[in-house]
Structure 1
Amino acid sequence: MKALLEFLGLIALVQGGMGLLHEFTDWKIGFVQRIDLLDGLEVYASITLVVLACALFAVAERRRPD
């Protein structure tokens, strides 16, 4: 379970970082900008993904190894 939480945290961190990179450099990378529901809210969604990644890493750190 710890490895799964770390993997999900890594995915969330990478996608959040790529979403922020897309917003500030206009590179066409990441998954957040492809979701039409989040049109205009991409920065907030990317920041939320980064915070979620930190939370997942914290939960994974507190769990015992499997």
Structure 2
Amino acid sequence: MTSSTPKSPLSAVTGLLAFVLVVGGASGLLHEWLGWIHFMGFVRFLVPDGYEIYGYVVMLVLGLAVGAAGDAPTRRGRA
């Protein structure tokens, strides 16, 4: 069932940020572990040299947290 209330701009921005962090972190981990190409290569500039695995894991977890936090007001409004 769809809601008749439009999505707020802040919710759209947090959704985009969460997507970039989750996909960038996952792609960085795949690149480090398996040698695949970077899907979102610009995220390598966000991680310090020598701490790639930790940085990509932090990006992945932070993306999940931002996505959950950005979706919380819309879920609260529906309940």
Cα 1:32–1:11 shift into 2, 3 Å: closer
Q: How does 1:3-18 map to 2 (within 5 A)?
A: 3-18=12-27
- CA RMSD, 1 decimal: 2.0
The amino acid of 1:11's aligned partner reads V
Match of 2:42 in 1: 31
Q: CA deviation at 1:9?
A: 0.1
* Gap runs ≥5 in structure 1: none
AA at the equivalent of 2:15: E
Identity %: 33
**Taking structure 1 as the reference length, what is the TM-score of the superposition?**
0.81
Contact 1:6 1:60 in 2 (8 A): yes
TM-score of the pair, normalised by structure 2: 0.69
Aligned residues: 64
- Unaligned 5+ segments in structure 2 are 1-9
